[in-house]
Amino acid sequence: MSFAEKLIRWQRRHGRRGLPWQGTRDPYRIWLSEVMLQQTQVATVVPYFERFIRKYPGVEALAAASEDEVLQLWSGLGYYARGRNLHLASQKIAFEHEGEFPDTAEKLAELPGVGRSTAAAVAVFAFGERAAILDGNAKRVLARCFGVEKELWPLAERLLPKRGIARYTQALMDLGATLCSRKKPDCAACPVARQCVARKQGRVHELPAPRARKALPLRHISWYVYRHAETVLLERRPSPGIWGGLWCFPEKAVVAARTTKKLASIDHGFTHFRLRIQPFLLEVRSPSGRPIKIKNSLWIDLGDARRAAVPAPVRKLLEELRSTAAGASGRRRARAAPA
């Protein structure tokens, strides 16, 4: 029995079931799930996928939305370039392709944010194309089973079955995500354990070879958290760049403040560097009682700000500010209550 046949048989019995993007040939739903699953766990993706489908049930609806609306819904999923590219690709499909998805891996790979493996996955599941994937899960399975670290694309293409391409592709994904995991592989339950080179040679934890870890540089920035009554000042970050298109606190002083308080620093990790953020809480009072208008910025209610298109560290700080404000309000009401 061939490698592909073993995986197909295993997937029929033990593969993942019931995921909201399974059981469909709709390229929109498949593409949306594949983009979200890039570098993100299934459990994290499921609620985001379901929210996107409810709000944007088709590519035309997604294309008609603003980037800010899309990023607001994406907020918390991370790797925000994916959200921006998702929106750009939907507009390209809607306006340049008249709402019709490209139906080959080669054409799909021309869309913003769609690489070779993602394009192949969409082409396989939506259009039945015989194309090879090589996402992180597939790469780990092939590297271990065949004891190779290089030339994985030619190997992936040679292994493609003539029939059952969709189930085989799903099997590769499922096997890598469940049994052939990075840290604790379950070799005893693996359908290709007998032919696995890494298992025979005791190299399971060596393949695929991890990238050499470099000490990540540490960058420092300041956040100026301007608060006026129950509102805070946010500015939209330029796109591209880190958190491009999202709303963040200003990184420089933009208006005079009545009081300033240094808050606890925040550490946040990116792929290529670490970020240490020093927030300063600044209370603003204006003679008119209305917050001062700042170019490219907006004053937003603390409760509404948490639901805006903001990155995770901003949301966390907003939650803390809202909690502190609620506690202070409660104490004031208690003092004002009659004895």
Place of tokens 């208008």: 293
Cβ atoms of residues 297 and 233 within 8 Å: yes
Instruction: Say yes or no: 41 and 146 in one domain.
Output: yes
Distance CA 80, CA 241 (A): 10
Residue at a domain's end among 175, 201, 227: 201
Establish if 212 belongs to a structural domain.
no
Instruction: Say yes or no: 11 and 152 in one domain.
Output: yes
Q: How confident is the model at residue 212 (pLDDT cuts 50, 70, 90)?
A: confident
List the CATH number of the domain containing 58: 1.10.340.30
Establish if 264 belongs to a structural domain.
yes
> Which one has a higher pLDDT value, 62 or 79?
62
- When mean pLDDT is compared over 10-24, 208-222, 231-245, 309-323, the highest value belongs to 10-24
Establish if 303 belongs to a structural domain.
yes
Nearest to 300 by CA among 202, 246, 227, 243: 227
Q: How confident is the model at residue 238 (pLDDT cuts 50, 70, 90)?
A: confident
Q: Write out the H or E segment, with its range, that includes residue 297.
A: strand 297-301
Catalytic (active site) residue 34: yes
DSSP-assigned beta bridge partners for residue 234 = 298
Nearest to 208 by CA among 178, 185, 191, 174: 185
Instruction: Say yes or no: 269 and 316 in one domain.
Output: yes
3-state SS string for 65-93 = CCHHHHHHHHCCCCCCHHHHHHHHHHHHH
Establish if 213 belongs to a structural domain.
no
Instruction: Say yes or no: 149 and 260 in one domain.
Output: no
At residue 210, the pLDDT reads 79
Instruction: Say yes or no: 47 and 121 in one domain.
Output: yes
Residue at a domain's end among 172, 201, 230: 201
Distance CA 156, CA 142 (A): 8
Say how many domains are in the chain: 2
Establish if 206 belongs to a structural domain.
no
Per-residue model confidence as pLDDT tens digits over 120-135: 999 999 999 999 999 9
Among residues 34, 67, 129, 235, which one is catalytic? 34
Instruction: Evaluate if residue 204 carries a pLDDT over 70.
Output: yes
- Mean pLDDT of the chain, nearest integer: 92
91 is in which domain, residue-wise?
Answer: 3-201
At residue 274, the pLDDT reads 94
Instruction: Say yes or no: 227 and 118 in one domain.
Output: no
Instruction: Say yes or no: 79 and 159 in one domain.
Output: yes
Establish if 280 belongs to a structural domain.
yes
Instruction: Say yes or no: 149 and 110 in one domain.
Output: yes
Q: Name residues whose C-beta falls within 8 Å of residue 46's C-beta, 6 or more positions apart in sequence.
A: 19, 20
Per-residue model confidence as pLDDT tens digits over 298-318: 999 988 887 889 999 999 999
Instruction: Say yes or no: 222 and 323 in one domain.
Output: yes
Distance CA 174, CA 157 (A): 18
